[in-house]
A and B are shown apart, each in its own frame.
Chain A
Amino acid sequence: MNIPVEKLLDLYTMLSRIRRVELKIEELYHLDEMKTPIHSSLGEEAVSVGVCSNLQKEDYIFSNHRSHGHYLAKGGNLKAMIAELYCKETGCSRGRGGSMHLIDTSVGHMGSSSIVGGSIPHAVGAALASVMQNKNLVAVSFFGDAASEQGVFFESMSWAALRKLPVVFICENNFYSVCSHLTARQPNIDIYKRPRAFDIPSELVDGMNLAEVCEKAQKAIEHARSGQGPYFLECRVQRWRGHAGSGDPNKEKYRKPEDLDETNVRDPLKEFKEILFAGGVTESDLTQIDQKLDAEIQDAFECAQNDPLPNPEDLEKHLFC
């Protein structure tokens, strides 16, 4: 891989940032102050980071319930996200959305949907707008393996291919929908083969390998931006935690035996560090980065905890624009 060291460090910073934010959320979640359902992206961070590192600030992303990684990787405001988890008026959605409905329009994040598959056509629409407005922007749709079971997934691919729109579909396949394994839900688990029925080029990606995600996402995004139409990546990942909340308390009851085997668990952060070390980066370089991140995260949580709650008198505000 030919990624310059600065870019490698940027990638590390974002990967570590998401990891540390998620760990912090998990650490404090039991206090019951973040009264919102959380869906941890632990284990899956490399996909968001690899894809978004190839996007421009104005490019669009569309996200789902497992939204933290996408939001942060695209450059979403950390303080506003944490305040949203604390249900505060300063939250990115002013306490009206919660963890599953993050937004930061200043970086092309137009709001995530918690209806599985629901935001896929939004990406197609934003891509359509980009073409109509001659903006040359790309729209990325992040969704899970279960979303690929929805009719709207197929319809959206069809629209995107029909009108050759600059959309990149990113399927984060963690093999689970809540507690249901992919093999219990799909007759053929090769999700990446489905877009080919629409003549959309697609690839299978090791989503635990940040360098690989980066490389393939770059190709996909360039393809879309150059007017050649949509592109599809199925990124296979490991969901470290349960579907929602912290930890995975019921794992013995639903996980496949091979998933319970600790030796099969991979860590995208650890694997990426190996690449950095091979490139001459030292442990202390990374420690410096991490210390800065921790200070920033600490500050974001403290601010959020002290921020004002929404005013109940504003209950009816914002129904219409």
Chain B
Amino acid sequence: MPWTKLQIEREEPAFDDPDGHVGRKISYGEALHEALDQALERDPSVYAMGQGVDDPGGMFGSTLDLHKKYGGQRVFDAPLSEESTVGMAIGSAMAGMRPVSIHNRPDFLMMAADQIINHAAKWSYMFAGQVPIPLVIRACIGRGWGSAAQHSQSLYSLFVHVPGLKVVVPSTAYDAKGLLITSIADNNPVIFIEQRWLYNHQGYVPEEIYSVPFGESVVKREGKDVTILAVSHMVIESLRAAEQLAEKGIDVEVIDPRTLAPFDEQTLLRSVEKTGHLVVADLDWKTAGFAAEVLARVAEKGFSYLKKPPVRVALPDIPTPSSYVLENAFYPGVDDIVQAVEELCQGKLSETLGEEFE
């Protein structure tokens, strides 16, 4: 959507990943491009295909001109046939290739659900590990400019539900590159979910090829009062919320799991043990979504740590509306996170406010 770009420039403030590193900074989109470029360069069995990967937009820049560098045999356009495209990627993986199947939106992956869920996710188990399926499926969550119900779904919770899939949700340029490299190197099917509003964000990204391990969270910000586990673009929203909350004397810890399957439980549980309060900021629907899974795990393994019931800040259980007033009402963001945290910390808030008024 050309309009989304305009809107992002207007509505999504630039974000500089505060990871403490000094060095070259590039955008999330450039980081994805660099990862794919280096993977193609390093391994002749890697190839990339998808609708429009060789067009002038180059998948929001993330595949731009790679077909010129590697030729139309390794980076090529795909017909509007998601099911067979993913099926073909799987077949080629069975025969030793490492396909990267690129899709504009997670919504379109529903056409390929059979190949993803009934085939890719099953092959290792069903055949006792004899045929690896080193497949990466990339898709970018849309948002804004009236994208509406069929161009903005996150859907990653659906894939997290399916055993045999790995689900990756990078929120920074550094992780985008490192996780894409790890995904391509992995011998199993990986669902790699990007978010359109992250594309312009800058962050430190080493020039050389590197990988970010699956199943390892990062603590984006340390704090002692409330744990926020945030997914994808919600990491940025949570860090913004954390700044506002700090001004009010609330010290939040923000954790980015980076991969939802496998999921790093330990870092979360340790944090909740410390803070006693949990908010999960998710980009998917509330009911039976990833946030619900996180709450279930904390209930099972860290119930005694919780001083108050945990809170989900997630999408309301309705399709995405088109009109911008409804869209604004639909998407949770900084304000909702701030509010959720404040409600959890009411006691503490009145204490600090009390101090101020003394």
Contact = CB atoms under 8 A, between A and B. Distances in A.
Nearest to B78: A159
A320 B99 CA distance: 17
Contacts of B133: 321
A321 B91 contact: no
A321 B129 CA distance: 5
Interface in A158-200: 158-159, 162
A132 B74 CA distance: 8
Contact of B124 (A101, A130, A319): A319
Contacts, number: 149
Interface string A282-321: 0000000000000000000000000000000000011111
A129 B85 CA distance: 13
B132 interface: yes
Most buried by B among A101, A110, A121, A156: A121
Contacts of B92: 125-126, 128-129, 132
B164 A319 contact: yes
B91 A101 contact: no
B79 A122 contact: no
A81 to B, nearest CB: 13
Contact of B83 (A121, A128, A130, A139): A121
Interface residues of A, number: 41
B84 interface: yes
Nearest to B96: A129
A158 B87 contact: no
A111 B124 contact: no
Contact of A111 (B45, B88, B94): B94
Given A124-B88, A125-B91, A115 B114 contact: yes
B95 A321 contact: no
Nearest to A60: B95
Interface in A130-167: 130-133, 139, 151-152, 155-156, 158-159, 162
Interface of B: 45, 47, 73-74, 79, 81, 83-97, 99, 114-115, 118-119, 123-133, 163-164, 166, 187-188
30 contacts: A60-B94, A62-B91, A96-B125, A113-B118, A121-B83, A121-B84, A121-B88, A122-B88, A122-B94, A125-B87, A125-B90, A125-B95, A125-B97, A127-B91, A128-B91, A129-B92, A129-B97, A133-B45, A133-B96, A133-B97, A139-B95, A155-B81, A156-B84, A156-B87, A158-B79, A158-B81, A158-B84, A318-B125, A321-B132, A321-B187
Top 10 A-B pairs, shortest CB-CB distance: A125-B91, A121-B87, A122-B91, A155-B84, A129-B95, A94-B128, A155-B81, A125-B92, A125-B88, A321-B132
